[in-house]
Amino acid sequence: MDLAVRNVTIIDGTGSPRRTGDVGVRAGRIVTIDTEGAGDVGDATTTVDGTGLVLCPGFIDPHTHYDAQLFWDPTGSPSNLHGVTTVVGGNCGFTLAPLSPGDADYTRRMMAKVEGMPLAALENGIDWNWQEFPDYLDRLDGRLGLNAGFLVGHCALRRRVMGSDSVERTATPDEVEAMQALLDEAIAAGGMGFSTTLARTHSDGDGAPVASRWADQDELVALASVVARHPGTSLEFASDGCLDGFSDDEVDFMIRFATAGDRPLNWNVLTVDSHAPERYRNQLAAMDRCAAEGARVVALTMPVIVGMNMSFLTYCALNMMPDWGPILGLPLDERMARLRDPETRRFMQERAASPDAGVFARLTGWDTYVIGDTFAAANEGLTGRRVGDIARERGTEPFDTLLDIVLADDLRTVLWPGATDADPESWELRRQAWEHPSVMLGGSDAGAHLDRMQGANYPTRFLADCLRGRQLTNVERAVEMLTKVPAELFGFTDRGVLREGAHADMVLFDPERIDSEMLTMVDDLPGGTSRLFAGSVGIERVWVSGVQTIVDGRPTGSLPGTVLRSGRDTRTPEV
């Protein structure tokens, strides 16, 4: 054997009860699992004592935006530190290929706006020296620390075929046919399927709706039909229904779209909040209706609450509050003047509390906001304090207190909204959602919104919660949801479980310690830019194809990852 892990607690990803034994690896595959004490593993070049530790399959993150970061960080950090061995990129209709000559600047600015990737990092970390989707995949092949598959994004296809018209009008039949040909070429080269967005929150660097939002349903269905011709593929999309709840017309479209592709369709992200149960019920009912019509549509949901910082200075989720965008989009002096105006403040509060806020209503717990970094002398000593406590001391309303604080800092104050959905009722709804046949864990957005949020650490946080926190499910089921379930949705071959013949993508962790470190800001991006980062706790080792990539929570520098290509590394998933 190249590797033997002995005396370890094996949780194999199938949901079966844990067992103790030895696991042997040769040439990147698991070749034997001995739980009978027969000694079949034999001698090995490297032996690891797993006493007191858990060995499980590598975690699979189905919704990332590592499309750019992997060029300057082939390890995919911090996902790799948290036991993730496979990621799916190209989500929400956003990919970096195909790319026309001269369109790199437009694409960079779009990704900076819509996915929160620092523009300087995109300008300095990538040479943008490709055009076709196969070229893009080839550039990553052989230089990854984890496995990565990429959907083909609608916005890139539209931009390549229609140029600037892609954000001005619907496509002609000839243009749709040209997009189909490009998609066909991209999937034949290994693209994992097709992704798109219709969500109102997605605008390009010029503030216009991104290209896919200009498409009609016939165009989307025509592109989905290309996916049906290729084995081992899937569909992904985002829409307003993912934010607010689905209308009957949107459900009709999902059925038509998934049926045309004859593949599973997944969307991001199902948020669960006991204060808005009607949205949750609507979205699950939509999934049930799709299933009844023979379309497999799967909602991604996060098993942890992802902290997200905000600012009234830079574009963030606060801009998505109803009618807040025009106010927060004003030049700084005008914006500050409006925010000082009592009538504007009352208007903003009323609109934020209206049904139009949808999923963003979870940001309206003004008293629960925690003050982060401050910059003015007037705000000295406020860092780490709750706005509600400060408001009581000052005898002011929480929303007014919040605005007074940020205005004193010329709007630079870093804010950490408190979660309105951390109550026991919301957690019970989440527990129920995890057992729904059309719900899957995921939605980290890893690689995106780098200075605002950090969801890549959800596997370790979730396992810590299952082992030592709320314990809403057992660890065997938790591991299954992090491994086998996403592997089956995408049709990954020989991944997501520990069994003889499977790829040796494995995580060894200490069940007494596994967790995430606290978030911190690190300056390690190209162009001198920063990101939120959290290392892991209790991740002893990670292997990708039998090669150690993490030891004691630190990267080894090895790059054994594979660009996963549809058909070669996937089989057609069940619909």
CATH of the domain at 45: 2.30.40.10
DSSP state of 386: B
Upper half-sphere CA count for residue 362 (Cβ side, 13 Å)? 23
Identify the domain boundary among 439, 463, 493: 493
- Residue 380 covered by a domain: yes
Upper half-sphere CA count for residue 31 (Cβ side, 13 Å)? 15
The DSSP result for 315-346, as a single string, is: -SGGGGSTTTHHHHTS-HHHHHHHHH-HHHHH
Residue whose token pair is 């470190």:
517
CATH code (residue 473) = 3.20.20.140
Residue 40 has pLDDT above 90, yes or no: no
DSSP state of 97: -
Task: Say if residue 121 is in the same domain as residue 249.
Answer: yes
Task: Say if residue 398 is in the same domain as residue 425.
Answer: no
Identify the domain boundary among 445, 461, 493: 493
Task: Say if residue 52 is in the same domain as residue 73.
Answer: no
Confidence band of 38 (pLDDT split at 50, 70, 90): low
Residue 476 has pLDDT above 80, yes or no: yes
**What pLDDT digit, counting tens, does each position of 203-247 carry?**
999 999 999 999 999 999 999 999 999 999 999 999 999 999 999
Q: Domain limits at 268?
A: 60-307+421-493
Q: To the nearest whole number, what is the mean pLDDT of the chain?
A: 96
CA distances (Å), 37 to each of 21, 29, 426, 494, 499, in order?
A: 7, 21, 44, 25, 17
Task: Say if residue 386 is in the same domain as residue 485.
Answer: no
Task: Say if residue 75 is in the same domain as residue 172.
Answer: yes
Task: Say if residue 35 is in the same domain as residue 101.
Answer: no
- Structure confidence at residue 42 (pLDDT): 79
- The arithmetic mean of pLDDT across residues 389-412, rounded, is 98
The DSSP result for 218-249, as a single string, is: HHHHHHHHHHTTSSS-EEEEE-HHHHH---HH
Candidate from 36-50, 383-397, 401-415 with smallest mean pLDDT: 36-50
Identify the domain boundary among 464, 493, 522: 493
How large is the greatest C-alpha to C-alpha distance in the chain, in angstroms? 77
Q: Which two tokens stand for residue 5?
A: 């892990």
Residue 553 has pLDDT above 70, yes or no: yes
- Residue 345 covered by a domain: yes
R_g of the chain computed on alpha carbons: 24
- Residue 26 covered by a domain: yes
157, 98 contact by CB (below 8 A): yes
262, 293 contact by CB (below 8 A): no
Q: What percent of the chain has pLDDT over 90?
A: 93
For 130, other C-beta atoms within 10 Å of its C-beta total 18
- The arithmetic mean of pLDDT across residues 271-278, rounded, is 92
How many independent structural domains does the chain possess?
3
Task: Say if residue 86 is in the same domain as residue 186.
Answer: yes
- Residue 209 covered by a domain: yes
Amino acid symbol at 229:
R
Residue 560 C-alpha from the chain's centroid? 23
**What pLDDT digit, counting tens, does each position of 134-186 carry?**
999 999 999 999 999 999 999 999 999 999 999 999 999 999 999 999 999 99
Residue 39 has pLDDT above 60, yes or no: no
249, 329 contact by CB (below 8 A): no
CA distances (Å), 291 to each of 225, 247, 259, 388, 489, in order?
A: 19, 16, 11, 44, 15
Task: Say if residue 44 is in the same domain as residue 65.
Answer: no
Residue 108 C-alpha from the chain's centroid? 19
Q: What percent of the chain has pLDDT over 70?
A: 99
**What pLDDT digit, counting tens, does each position of 83-130 carry?**
999 999 999 999 999 999 999 999 999 999 999 999 999 999 999 999
- The arithmetic mean of pLDDT across residues 182-195, rounded, is 98
- Residue 13 covered by a domain: yes
- Residue 568 covered by a domain: no
Task: Say if residue 9 is in the same domain as residue 97.
Answer: no
Candidate from 64-73, 128-137, 315-324 with smallest mean pLDDT: 315-324
Task: Say if residue 114 is in the same domain as residue 217.
Answer: yes
Residue 4 has pLDDT above 90, yes or no: yes
Task: Say if residue 256 is in the same domain as residue 224.
Answer: yes
- CA-wise closest residue to 497 among 14, 24, 18, 8: 14
Task: Say if residue 19 is in the same domain as residue 120.
Answer: no
- Structure confidence at residue 70 (pLDDT): 98
- Residue 501 covered by a domain: no
- The arithmetic mean of pLDDT across residues 382-389, rounded, is 96
- Residue 499 covered by a domain: no
Helix (H) or strand (E) holding 139: helix 133-140
